[in-house]
Structure 1
Amino acid sequence: MKIKEVKELETKDLVERIESEVAKYNQMKLNHAITPLENPSQIKLARRDIARMKTVLRERELNK
């Protein structure tokens, strides 16, 4: 997910999206520990997407 797409989301939607992405990320890590994923770089991409979303959310909190 690009930063432009993240900035277009509403704050409420962004919070929900972060929660779902974190759950998906944790499940991916757990699955990878049991049986290796076909593409382990997905874990890295998911972590970076979560960081982007949290960064935009924090920017919005500071600009209020």
Structure 2
Amino acid sequence: MGKNVKLKAARAMLGLSQKDLAEKVGVTRQTIVAIEKGDYNPTINLCRAICRALGQTLDQLFWEEGQ
């Protein structure tokens, strides 16, 4: 599992901090940090909530090339 640079970039494009995104999806800032660093695999429900909050699709944010 690698870093999720797509998530970080999408969040930054909207001007959201890790804390802002965490509040929108109902998790802690530390959870967002861990997902972005690749230290935590979120559940599908959390992935969907993150996608809705950022206006992205699952493929756009969580698909890794070569899978």
Shorter chain as normaliser: what TM range? under 0.3
Q: Structure 1 or 2: larger helix share?
A: 1
Larger RCO (CA within 8 A; separation ≥ 6):
1
